[in-house]
Chains A and B, each alone.
Chain A
Amino acid sequence: MHDTNVDTTKFFFRLSSSVSPRLLLSELLMKKWFEPAVPFTLLVALILTLCLTVPNFATVRNVVSLATLYPEFGFVVLAMGLSMISGGIDLSVGAIFAFCNLIALILLLVLEWSIPGVIMGTLAAGAFVGSINGFLVGYLKTRPFLTTLVTVIIVRSVVNLLNQEHALTFATNYVESDAWDFIASGQVLGIPVNAMTLIVVLIIGHILLSRSRFGWRLTAVGASRKAARHAGVNVNAMLFSTYIISGLLCAMSGIFFAARQASSDSFTGLGWEFQALTAAVLGGISFAGGNGTVWRAMIGGLVIFLLNNGLVRMGVPGYITSSSVGIILLVAVAIDVKWSKNSSKASELLYVNPTRIPLARRPSIDAGDDNPFARNDRLLSSEIFGLNQVEGPEDVILDRQGRVYGSTRDGNIIRFSGENFKRREVFAHIGGRPLGMQFDPDENLIVCVAGMGVYGVTREGEAYKVTDETNRTWYKLNDDSRLRMADDLDIAPDGKIYFSDCTTRYEMTTNALDVIEGRPNGRLIVYDPKTGKTHTEINHLHFPNGICVSHDGQSVLIASTSLSRVYRYWIEGPRKGGLETLLDELPGCCDNINRASDGTYWLALIGIRSPAFDLAGHMPGFRRRMVREIPVDEWLVPSLNQGCVVKFNDAGEVLESYWDPEGVNHPSVTSMREHKGYLYLAGLENNRLGRIKIEGADTEWTGFDAYWGDPQKGSA
């Protein structure tokens, strides 16, 4: 069973294979901005509804009115949101607002302070009450809910007592002040001054939360106090300052309200904590903490404000307006709890989206067939070395001194030397998961490291970063600027490093899912050492794995694991930029490709196709159910219990193959490297390296000298 009618070298085909509604949804669910998208849609819908149903709603006059009325509540929602992001809650926001409103009026009308004095004094009052909350929550470790609830009672009592004393003064006194009138009803660029201040505060808040150390630490504290403390964050001070900021925001709110309404009553700000809480949760600031932005707080705040405003103006009975906010809170909290618990599960459930895999015909591998793929036991004669001294060496390479390099799962590059490669040393520690390797002309070892990018190791064993990011694809939801799984590389004669990033959707530990998904999630990336720039050369490739520059340096060979085929990509010459299929009817999934001494190429097959595997390739639904319903070790994958290395030439002809049919010495070979008449073998899941003697091969040929030239002899 095979597909002959699809041309996977065509970009459009590969792009369309990357598109799926389910995939889109799963990626949407993982986007940070998608969470507020729901309340934002709600806000837009609400505004449209109000424009259609409330007379005079969509007028400039009304918008200015609303912009004058909203900011006080907006500040309070912001204060609530901030405390929630820190993992707590500040129920005293409404009370602090009322208190600061009262303080501003007392300072202005009773003590007759100057306007700057009133502002500073009121801000100080807000910060003071906030600092009490902050001290209790941050340093005495009291629970924010109960602490701020008690603060509400105390602050409210103080407000009522002071009100009783000064109410008549407020009612009868009046201050003539242009500055105070400006705070009350002034405009900046046509925007009410309180709304302008809110906008400025929001921008500062956004930068503070998302771009500053303070914000990151605050989010960390909110997500997990313990983890934040272990990471060295001063949790106590963070919480202390959070509640002070919350108090300051309420104070700003109080100043504007005092200026505009010049009124203090027992009902000022009454129930605002409840409304602000509803708004914050509705906007998508999680109760669980550590998750939220200032914009989410504003979206929620505006919904609640406009809903109240609109319902009252529609003449809806008051008890319906009041209860609707309550119902919204219940629903929003329910969604918040369910969302935070299940959204990752949902996106996980939706994440793997298999599609039809356009596999070409599977050739026979029967022993004795007149076929280059016919199984034999040529790998059984290998000399094994480094047994249990390497762990999963994906690639193997030799330097000019004949020393062998392999790697371990924990990020080390291991070097073997001496007689029978008995001498083992940790050549370098890079970290991550080292995969494909290649020497550059200066004999630096360039390594693809899954999870990190492309790194180099000098002859002295010093690791350095080559590149860890590329340009982001503008039309993808998934941010693909980071290198997820740099897999194999080769270096063109001009020094450009071509490497494969085999998947942009999975990780090293889950990359098998990418093969099962069968979508073109990988890409070919180029790093140019001359400019230091990295860019994606070919996007949407089906699990590009082995990379090898052709003997003539004109093209790059790209092995696609999930399609079991090899592409040729022209980097020079008349067909530069063209992608064509070089090999497709292969018996197994391709891994690394390397140059052979006779002008041909070696190709490792990591797994061998079977009729059942090929059939599954045409049944995406089956594969989807498979990964969802049965454990990993029962998944239908290519056979990993045999080793196979194939030799092919530039014409796309397969010449011969080397097998370990039972996987005794080298199951699941992922790379091989020819050096002085031997073929060295490595495997991603193997605990060894090995080599076999190649009949008739040039015993003086080394990969480095053949490609870069022997420095002693001059250029090649």
Chain B
Amino acid sequence: MTLGKIKMSVATAIATVLLVSGASAQDTKGTKASAELKADYDGSVVGKRIAYLPIMYGSPLALEWGRVLQREAEHRGIIYELRDPNSNVDAQLQALKALIDSQPDVIVVQNPSVTLLMRDLKRAEEQGIHVIQVNMASNYRSDAFVGVDWREIGRMIGEDVVKECGAGSGKSGKVAVVQGEITAAGSIDQMAGINAAFAEDPSIEIVSNQAGNWLADTAKNLTDVVIQQHPDLCAHIGFWGLMQSGAAQAIRNAGKIDDVIVYASGAGSVLDCDQINQGNFDKYLSYTGTVQGHALFNAALSLLQGDDEPGEIKRAYYTRPVWLDASNADAKNCFPLDEN
């Protein structure tokens, strides 16, 4: 390449850049409508603060919600704050009070029980903060609820149990239930759904109904006894995947894992799917944590963009539970844990 040719190609390149940039400069605005829409959107959401207060950030479901919220929020210029009480309810209560004092725009909270945070959530809305309760609601109805309809979860599991163990199935009809924390929304309403389904088939008998308080160890201890007393147990329902893995272990230890139909519900993480694929859970109702995360963010967006004062409206965004079993518990339906 001679010097003349180099000069020539540099000139060409400069001309090309100038032409291209000139053309794009003309197109930066796009349509007026979309520009206005985006400007309104940014005006409502950019710089706003979303505070996220789960029960325990270490749990797969809370991690997934947080992951989606953080990623979406930061992409949209929203400030995301996390408070992790790590299952310490006193810390959660304190964190909530401190959050209210610091006045974020939206608080996303997962209630450990229907009563504990109730008064403070109400106070938050009185102070002008939108409150979104996720999956585990309290007795106070805040601006938005995002998550599963626990009655629906209970009814779906209950109806399936009736189908598998009820009249005409030739099975004993005996069902054991391990609830979570007895005062949590996930326990109270899910049990109501189960009871409603069972009411339609008198041959179904709940032989044991106890609280495992979300602990696998407690579930295992409870189930150890139940399986001894009722070797002909037909189905075992546990209210949360991680807890139910303990119950499944007890059933496996008793050599009944192939006889008892083990039901669980939960986040839908690979941990739960591993349990399905290992044969510990026969049927699993996933809340679809990733979808819930997006629903959460969208609920927050609609609150931020709306003109409603906190506490003025009560909206619900129910997510659709999805049945998983050995046939579909794969990477498509189970979210991984390592994406943080």
Contacts and interface: CB of A to CB of B under 8 A. Distances in A.
Interface of A: 55-56, 59, 61-62, 65, 68-69, 73, 160, 163-164, 167-168, 170-172, 260-268, 270-272, 308-309, 312-313, 315-319, 321-322
Contacts of B16: none
B181 interface: yes
Contact of B182 (A69, A167, A270, A308): A167
A55 B101 CA distance: 10
B183 A261 contact: no
Interface string B91-115: 1011101100110000000001111
A317 to B, nearest CB: 6
A78 B91 CA distance: 20
Given A261-B116, A262-B115, A312-B83, A318 B183 contact: no
A65 B115 contact: no
A168 B188 contact: yes
Residue of B56, B58, B84, B183 most packed against chain A (CB within 10 A): B183
A264 B181 CA distance: 11
B279 to A, nearest CB: 31
A282 B181 CA distance: 33
A308 to B, nearest CB: 5
Interface in B78-134: 81-91, 93-95, 97-98, 101-102, 112-116, 118-119
Contacts of A261: 93, 115-116, 119
B115 A62 contact: no
B215 to A, nearest CB: 9
A221 B139 CA distance: 49
Interface of B: 56-58, 81-91, 93-95, 97-98, 101-102, 112-116, 118-119, 139, 181-183, 188, 211, 213
Contact of B97 (A69, A171, A308): A69
A318 B115 contact: no
Contacts of B116: 261, 263, 265
A163 B57 contact: no
Given A73-B90, A263-B118, A266-B211, A317 B183 contact: no
Contacts of A73: 90
A568 B36 CA distance: 100
Contact of A318 (B56, B118, B211): B56
A319 B58 contact: yes
Contacts of B97: 65, 68-69
Residue of B84, B85, B98, B116 most packed against chain A (CB within 10 A): B98
Contacts of A321: 84-86, 88, 91
B115 A313 contact: no
Contacts of B84: 312, 315-318, 321
B183 A312 contact: no
A170 B211 contact: no
Contacts of B89: 265, 267-268, 270
Complex A-B, nearest 5 residue pairs according to Cβ-Cβ distance, in ascending order = A318-B86, A263-B115, A318-B84, A263-B116, A167-B183
Contacts of A260: 119
A271 B88 contact: yes
B94 A265 contact: no
A652 B211 CA distance: 95
Residue of A164, A167, A270 most packed against chain B (CB within 10 A): A167
Given A69-B94, A309-B98, A318-B85, 8 more contacts: A167-B183, A171-B188, A262-B115, A263-B113, A318-B56, A319-B58, A321-B86, A321-B88
Contact of B115 (A171, A315, A316): A171
29 contacts: A160-B182, A164-B182, A167-B183, A167-B188, A168-B188, A172-B139, A261-B116, A262-B115, A264-B183, A265-B113, A265-B116, A265-B183, A266-B182, A266-B211, A266-B213, A267-B87, A308-B94, A309-B94, A309-B98, A312-B85, A312-B94, A312-B95, A313-B83, A315-B82, A317-B86, A318-B84, A318-B86, A321-B85, A322-B88
A261 B58 CA distance: 26
B86 A319 contact: yes
A312 B90 CA distance: 11
Nearest to A184: B119
B119 A56 contact: no
Residue of B56, B118, B182, B213 most packed against chain A (CB within 10 A): B182
Residue of A61, A172, A265, A319 most packed against chain B (CB within 10 A): A265
Contact of A164 (B58, B87, B90, B211): B211
Contact of B88 (A62, A170, A308, A315): A308
Contacts of A167: 182-183, 188
Contacts of B113: 263, 265
A315 B83 contact: yes
B94 A315 contact: no
Contact of B101 (A61, A172, A268): A61
A62 B101 contact: yes
A321 B98 CA distance: 16
B98 A313 contact: yes
Nearest to A270: B89
Given A59-B101, A65-B98, A271-B88, A318 B93 contact: no
A630 B113 CA distance: 69
A187 to B, nearest CB: 16
A160 B83 contact: no
B184 to A, nearest CB: 8
Contacts of B58: 318-319
A318 B95 contact: no
Contacts of A55: 102
A421 B159 CA distance: 115
Contacts of B87: 267, 318
Given A73-B90, A262-B115, A163 B183 contact: yes
A258 to B, nearest CB: 11
Nearest to A167: B183
B183 A263 contact: yes
B155 to A, nearest CB: 19
A305 to B, nearest CB: 8
B181 A266 contact: yes
Nearest to B180: A266
Nearest to A69: B94
Contact of B181 (A62, A265, A322): A265
A168 B191 CA distance: 12
B154 to A, nearest CB: 15
A73 B93 CA distance: 13
Contacts of B82: 315
A611 B94 CA distance: 72
A270 to B, nearest CB: 8
A313 B97 CA distance: 10
Contacts of B94: 69, 308-309, 312-313
Contacts of B112: 265, 267
B115 A308 contact: no
Contacts of B139: 171-172
Contact of A313 (B57, B95, B118): B95
A446 to B, nearest CB: 65
Contacts of B83: 312-313, 315
Contacts of B98: 56, 62, 65, 309, 312-313
A331 B165 CA distance: 56
A118 B98 CA distance: 30
Contacts of A313: 83, 94-95, 98
Nearest to B52: A315
B188 A318 contact: no
Nearest to B94: A309
A315 B181 CA distance: 26
A315 B70 CA distance: 13
Contacts of B90: 69, 73, 272, 308
Contacts of A308: 88, 90-91, 94
Contacts of B213: 266-267
A404 B58 CA distance: 88
Contacts of B211: 160, 164, 266
B55 to A, nearest CB: 10
A117 to B, nearest CB: 22
A170 B183 CA distance: 9
